[in-house]
């Protein structure tokens, strides 16, 4: 079995990969220091859990200048807790990235971490280095947020997704979140970054939603400003805390009366009304101009004070199925953070031609869950219903580390299936190629 895994891995490494979701910034596509590797937000969660005083993400935004002094202070406070996460899968990837890309093989500690930081800084952290790392992982194209493309600075490396407003994402203690998200976009003439995953409503918006006419104007503003020729997808989130049901215009008018003190029911009315009008508008627009885009939703991670936890109501899957069925002309792509729900979502994707499942998102990105999800989808879905690879990375270094782990997991699963007689070797390799490259992002090739 081990020999089969190694042989299959060697052939997998020859398959070109398309990363269908990341947050890599064209202005700094590689790690600028140890902080961009060790303080990746998924690792911060583990350090915070172990006792590190800092649980918030590192600063990140369109106008956010790199502050190395702040990064060094964060690293200094985090390093004492590294010894407690040495057994985790994510720290395994930290070690892999440092070893493979920087030839660093020492265990990080209070005595050597500054030297490691300087080593990473000393490398070319720009475009040439990013291309070098991408070639090492055999990643030929990466999707990133439109604003992170920095005016199409490196189009040979990136294609783009619009991640602007999250109408169906709840926020910690914010029942007005759907309106807040819509207001955020309504107050921008050009699509910019989304609000953080843990936001607050203390924004001084000039345009404020008070009436149903405001809602209509804001939705139309959003739909009209989607750059359909520039992006291959829109990326947003379905919160399982929100109940999904049919909402009338009269329901929305009634809920808007509670704009300043909305209940959870009001929140759900806002989310359902805005999302349905958004989907109808995109459906009309893309049909009229002949430029389809994929509608991507993440699912199964709900906000906590700093990050999120994995959560899925059992009713959510069938509540959402009505939305997908109502818009057969739209391509919906779901990224799950709940491994326990993956089999149920596979059953839904089997029944809905326009529903596709992507990758291993957030709380699923651990070897045991990755292998489970790969097995579920290979056994249950056609290859053109599953996108096998995305990294959710913020620098190419992490894209490399995640690519290495994902390919290892695919090699182990395929080796087991070959051993069991489910596939012969050539068929297994072709299925892998379809899932990781050919069928995973057909909308890229429709441009």
pLDDT tens figures, 78-103: 999 999 999 999 999 999 999 999 99
| 304 and 358 share one domain | yes
Supply the pLDDT for residue 125.
79
CATH classification of the domain holding 148? 3.20.20.140
pLDDT at 252: 98
CATH number at residue 106: 1.10.2020
Token pair, residue 113, equals 């971490």
| Domain match, 340 and 412 both | yes
Low-confidence stretches of the chain (pLDDT < 50) are 445-447
> Which of 47, 89, 156 is CA-nearest to residue 406?
89
Q: Is residue 13 part of a domain?
A: no
Mark which of 68, 96, 123 sits at the end of a domain: 123
Say if 91 falls within a structural domain. yes
Whether 24 maps to a domain, the answer reads no
Judge contact between 300 and 263, C-beta under 8 A: no
Q: How far apart are CA 103 and CA 105, in angstroms?
A: 6
In a shared domain, residues 369 and 436: yes
* Calpha distance 367→405 (Å, rounded): 8
State whether 119 and 235 are in the same domain: no
> How many Cβ atoms sit within 10 Å of the Cβ of residue 75?
21
**Which pLDDT value is given to residue 4?**
82
Question: Quick check: is 3 in a domain?
Answer: no
User: Which candidate, 62, 64, 73, places its Cα nearest to that of 34?
Assistant: 73
Of 151, 102, 155, 91, nearest in space to 129 by CA: 102
Please indicate, yes or no, if residue 283 is contained in any of the structural domains: yes
Rounded distance between C-alpha atoms, residue 46 and residue 42, angstroms: 7
- pLDDT confidence of residue 62: 80
* Domain tally, the chain: 2
Calpha distance 133→37 (Å, rounded): 14
* Domain end residue (candidates: 98, 123, 148): 123
CA-only gyration radius of the chain, Å: 22
Output the six-digit token pair for 57. Answer: 């993400």
Q: Is residue 18 part of a domain?
A: no
Is the residue at 20 inside a domain?
no
Distance of CA 431 to the CA centre of its chain: 24
Together in a domain, 245 and 315: yes
Kindly report, residue by residue over 349-360, the tens digit of the pLDDT: 999 999 999 999
Q: Does one domain contain both 87 and 156?
A: no
331 forms beta bridges with 294
Is residue 264 a contact partner of residue 255, using CB atoms and an 8 Å limit? no
Domain extent for 276: 131-445
Residues 55, 104, single domain; the answer is yes
151, 40: one domain: no
Among residues 96, 123, 150, the one where a domain terminates is 123
């Amino acid at each position: 079995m081990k020999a089969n895994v190694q042989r299959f891995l060697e052939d997998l490494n020859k398959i070109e990969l398309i990363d269908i979701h990341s947050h890599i910034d064209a202005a700094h596509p590689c790690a600028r220091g140890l902080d961009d590797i060790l303080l990746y937000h998924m690792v911060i969660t583990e350090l915070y859990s172990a006792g590190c005083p800092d649980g918030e993400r590192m600063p990140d935004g369109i106008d956010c200048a790199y502050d190395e002094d702040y990064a060094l202070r964060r690293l200094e406070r985090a390093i004492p807790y590294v010894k407690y996460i040495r057994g985790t899968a994510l720290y395994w990837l930290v070690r892999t990235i440092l070893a493979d890309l920087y030839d660093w093989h020492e265990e990080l500690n209070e005595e050597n971490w500054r030297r490691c930081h300087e080593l990473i800084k000393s490398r070319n952290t720009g475009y040439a280095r990013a291309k070098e790392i991408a070639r090492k992982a055999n990643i030929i194209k990466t999707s990133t947020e439109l604003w992170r493309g920095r005016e199409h600075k490196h189009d040979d490396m990136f294609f783009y997704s619009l991640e602007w407003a999250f109408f169906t994402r709840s926020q910690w203690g914010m029942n007005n979140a759907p309106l807040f998200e819509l207001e955020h976009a309504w107050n921008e003439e050009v699509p910019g970054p989304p609000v953080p995953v843990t936001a607050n409503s203390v924004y001084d918006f000039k345009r404020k939603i008070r009436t149903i006419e405001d809602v209509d104007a804001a939705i139309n503003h959003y739909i009209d400003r989607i750059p359909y020729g520039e992006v291959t997808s829109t990326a947003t989130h379905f919160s399982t805390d929100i109940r999904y049901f049919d909402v009338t215009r009269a329901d929305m008018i009634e809920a808007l009366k509670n704009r300043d003190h909305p209940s959870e029911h009001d929140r759900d009315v806002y989310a359902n009304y805005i999302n349905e009008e958004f989907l109808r508008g995109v459906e009309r627009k893309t049909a009229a101009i002949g430029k389809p885009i994929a509608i991507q939703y993440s699912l199964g991670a709900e906000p906590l004070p700093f990050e999120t936890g994995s959560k899925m109501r059992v009713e959510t899957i069938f509540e959402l199925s009505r939305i997908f069925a109502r818009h057969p002309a739209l391509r919906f792509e779901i990224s799950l953070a709940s491994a326990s729900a993956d089999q149920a979502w596979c059953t839904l994707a089997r029944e809905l031609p326009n529903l596709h499942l992507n990758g291993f998102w957030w709380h699923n990105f651990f070897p045991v869950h990755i292998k489970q999800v790969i097995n579920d989808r290979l056994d249950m879905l056609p290859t053109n219903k599953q996108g096998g690879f995305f990294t959710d990375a913020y620098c190419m270094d992490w894209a490399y580390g995640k690519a290495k782990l994902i390919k290892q997991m695919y090699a182990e699963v395929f080796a087991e299936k070959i051993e069991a007689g489910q596939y012969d070797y050539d068929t297994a390799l072709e299925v892998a190629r379809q899932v990781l490259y050919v069928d995973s992002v057909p909308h890229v090739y429709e441009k």
